[in-house]
Chains A and B, each alone.
Chain A
Amino acid sequence: MSKPVIVLNELTKSYGKHRGIENISFTVEQGEVFGFIGPNGAGKSTTIRTLMGLLKPSNGGASIFGLDCSREPARIAKDVGYLPSENCYYNNMKVKEMLFYTAELYGVNAHSRMEELAERLNLDLSRRIGDLSLGNKKKVGIVSALLPSPKLLIMDEPTSGLDPLIQQAFYDILKEENKRGVTIFLSSHVLSEVQRLCDRVAILREGKLISVQSMKELRENGYKKISLTAKSAIPEDFFSIPGTANLEWNKSKTSASFMFSGTVMMIMKQLYQLELEDILIEEPSLEEIFLHYYE
């Protein structure tokens, strides 16, 4: 079995009164596309910045390729392509100059790769970075991260600001990179993106790790979304059975929708007591599962 590429061990970062991250532990395997999801302020960027050696952990630790993130960030960075969540490029430089500078810092000759990526992402290399739109600046970041052909890509909110066509091109590039054996770690709060790309996800909430699951597990965790309409008003405590969550009623109490994680027989027995007009049992979307974790 291959060694994990990223290992987080009780990683904690605190900023005095402000919340950081607490005791985050998980691993990312070689060749995996790993998603890191959570709402704004959950601690995704703090975790990533600690992995990149920008922040020193208050407790615990993290390693990439077996190297300690806080002690050897420069050695780690040789094989990592990093896309920050915010645009952090030299506004006075032209795109091409900045990308050449990136290649120089990595010690690679990446002229053809730069041209190829710029063409696929429709990025004008001759423009000044300061004159670019938010989306185009993001493209500069993506090209900069991919330029040195890294073994690991760490991307923080990679598609924010990109239009759908470029997003598609970006997903294609990521899939190609992954086929090449590149491990991808990406944070997002766009769940469809994570659903589309990732093998596993870590869910973060208020600086704490809630769960690490495969996409399959996340969808098959037993939750079904049930929406029903009865001929007469349903008693308010009718769904007070174990495994029911997110219960919502209409005004007349004839329609209800909820998430259910118990056995099918249990809910069927319960529903049998109602005179139903309509019922819909479906897989909840990732958004709904995700919201459930934040309750």
Chain B
Amino acid sequence: MQIFRFEWKRSQKYILIWAAALAVGIFFMTPVYYGMMETAGTLPTGFAQGGYFETVGISLELLTKPMGMYSFLTGFFIIAGGIFGMHLGLSLHTKECTENTAEYLYTKPCGRQVIYKGKLLCALAGVCVTGIFYMMASFFTMTLFRPGFPPREFLLVAGSFVLLTLFFALMGTMAGVFRPNNRSPLLTSGLVVFMEYCITSFSRTVGIRAIGFLSPFSFFSPAEIHNAGTYSWDYMLWYLLLLFGFALLAYWKILKRDIALAV
């Protein structure tokens, strides 16, 4: 627990700033976007039927409902959440190398396993805090401005923010363990998350579902959640496999590799 406590203390400000920023963002942006629901039908035909909304996992019909508008907005907050998650997971490992503290930490009696677990726990705690902030802010803004939303659908949509942040946190952890000398973790996170987002948009545009397996954004399509009332089981299975894969690969690697000492 010492490692977790230390890492948490080291990262808590960063985590809380992100969590607060995302919560404040969704709280204030949701009512602003509600105002656009009435005008959804008046969108230029070319824009409305050009497939744009499909690329973000929303149908035009869904966009006229509060839950649909919240989903549309959450689609963008998920990108921010992904960048936060990946950057947190990545930097927890890379900063030991870039700040030249690895030689201190990895020669202490706690050992690599405990260090890995402590850092992973810190990343998970960061995801939980951000997720709780986001879900609470979402719940309050929806209750306040458009009460009577379907709670199950809300949980699934808001939950996709948490699950995607978690996915990228573990992906970042693995990337940090494999490349601990990465000096630009934020840039890397931004690029990876954006690239993943583009893959999902592409898979939705060309209509090939299999491409969606390459990007976690595809796993949580608001339109599918709205229609089926649940996440797709095949995507979920793949999601869990990847999640455990990232965690186990990182664990295996950290036990085997030489510790990168300084850049």
Q: How far, in whole Å, are A9 and B107 apart by their CA atoms in the complex?
A: 21
Contact A52 B107 (CB under 8 A): yes
Contact A105 B108 (CB under 8 A): yes
User: Cβ of A91: which chain B residues have Cβ within 8 Å of it?
Assistant: 99
CB distance from A292 to the nearest CB of B (A): 33
Contact A90 B101 (CB under 8 A): yes
- A74-108 toward B: CB 8 Å interface, digit per residue (1/0)? 11011010101011111100000000011011110
Query: Interface-forming stretch among A53-61, A174-182, A250-258, A266-274?
Result: A53-61
User: Cβ of B39: which chain A residues have Cβ within 8 Å of it?
Assistant: none
CB distance from A35 to the nearest CB of B (A): 21
Q: How far, in whole Å, are A86 and B101 apart by their CA atoms in the complex?
A: 10
Q: How far, in whole Å, are A138 and B107 apart by their CA atoms in the complex?
A: 17
Out of B6, B103, B111, B256, name the residue touching A84 (CB < 8 Å): B103
Is there a chain B Cβ closer than 8 Å to A73's Cβ?
yes
Out of A49, A56, A90, A106, name the residue touching B108 (CB < 8 Å): A106
Out of A54, A80, A82, A87, name the residue touching B259 (CB < 8 Å): A54
User: Given A54-B259, A56-B258, is A89 in contact with B109 using a C-beta cutoff of 8 Å?
Assistant: no
- B246-261 toward A: CB 8 Å interface, digit per residue (1/0)? 0000000000111101
Chain B interface, number of residues (Cβ within 8 angstroms): 23
Q: Which residue of A lies closest to B102 (CB)?
A: A88
Q: How far, in whole Å, are A49 and B109 apart by their CA atoms in the complex?
A: 15
Contact B107 A77 (CB under 8 A): yes
Contact A54 B110 (CB under 8 A): no
A-B residue pair count with CB separations less than 8 angstroms: 66
CB distance from A184 to the nearest CB of B (A): 16
Q: Which residue of A lies closest to B96 (CB)?
A: A88
CB distance from B235 to the nearest CB of A (A): 38
User: Cβ of A80: which chain B residues have Cβ within 8 Å of it?
Assistant: 107
Q: How far, in whole Å, are A178 and B240 apart by their CA atoms in the complex?
A: 54
Q: Which of A23-75 contact B (CB under 8 A)?
A: 49, 52-56, 73-75
User: Cβ of B109: which chain A residues have Cβ within 8 Å of it?
Assistant: 74-75, 77-78, 105-107
Is there a chain A Cβ closer than 8 Å to B42's Cβ?
no
From B101, B111, B257, residue with most partner A Cβ within 10 Å: B111
Q: Which of B1-21 contact A (CB under 8 A)?
A: 2, 6
Q: Which of B205-263 contact A (CB under 8 A)?
A: 256-259, 261-262
User: Cβ of A88: which chain B residues have Cβ within 8 Å of it?
Assistant: 100-104, 261-262
CB distance from A78 to the nearest CB of B (A): 4
Contact B261 A73 (CB under 8 A): no
User: Cβ of B257: which chain A residues have Cβ within 8 Å of it?
Assistant: 56
Q: How far, in whole Å, are A90 and B9 apart by their CA atoms in the complex?
A: 13
User: Cβ of B106: which chain A residues have Cβ within 8 Å of it?
Assistant: 53-54
Out of A55, A89, A107, name the residue touching B104 (CB < 8 Å): A89
User: Given A54-B258, A54-B261, A104-B2, is A73 in contact with B111 using a C-beta cutoff of 8 Å?
Assistant: yes
User: Given A54-B107, A77-B108, A105-B109, is A89 in contact with B262 using a C-beta cutoff of 8 Å?
Assistant: no
User: Cβ of A54: which chain B residues have Cβ within 8 Å of it?
Assistant: 102-103, 106-107, 258-259, 261
User: Cβ of B104: which chain A residues have Cβ within 8 Å of it?
Assistant: 84, 88-90, 144
Q: Which residue of B lies closest to A106 (CB)?
A: B109
User: Cβ of B183: which chain A residues have Cβ within 8 Å of it?
Assistant: none
Q: Which of B54-106 contact A (CB under 8 A)?
A: 99-104, 106
Q: Which of B108-166 contact A (CB under 8 A)?
A: 108-114
Q: Which residue of B lies closest to A104 (CB)?
A: B2
CB distance from B213 to the nearest CB of A (A): 35
Q: How far, in whole Å, are A75 and B107 apart by their CA atoms in the complex?
A: 10
User: Given A89-B104, A90-B99, A101-B6, is A55 in contact with B112 using a C-beta cutoff of 8 Å?
Assistant: no
CB distance from B178 to the nearest CB of A (A): 16
Q: How far, in whole Å, are A86 and B108 apart by their CA atoms in the complex?
A: 16
Q: How far, in whole Å, are A78 and B111 apart by their CA atoms in the complex?
A: 10
Contact A56 B99 (CB under 8 A): no
Q: Which residue of A lies closest to B108 (CB)?
A: A105
21 residue pairs bridging A and B, Cβ less than 8 Å apart: A49-B103, A53-B106, A54-B106, A54-B107, A55-B259, A56-B256, A56-B258, A73-B111, A74-B110, A74-B113, A74-B114, A77-B107, A80-B107, A82-B107, A86-B262, A87-B100, A88-B102, A90-B99, A102-B108, A105-B2, A106-B109
Using a CB–CB cutoff of 8 Å, the interface residues on chain A facing chain B are 49, 52-56, 73-75, 77-78, 80, 82, 84, 86-91, 101-102, 104-107, 144
**Which 5 pairs of residues, A with B, have the shortest CB-CB distance?**
A74-B111, A88-B103, A105-B108, A77-B109, A78-B109
Q: What 7 additional pairs, Cβ within 8 angstroms, besides A49-B103, A107-B109?
A: A54-B107, A56-B257, A73-B111, A74-B109, A80-B107, A88-B262, A89-B101
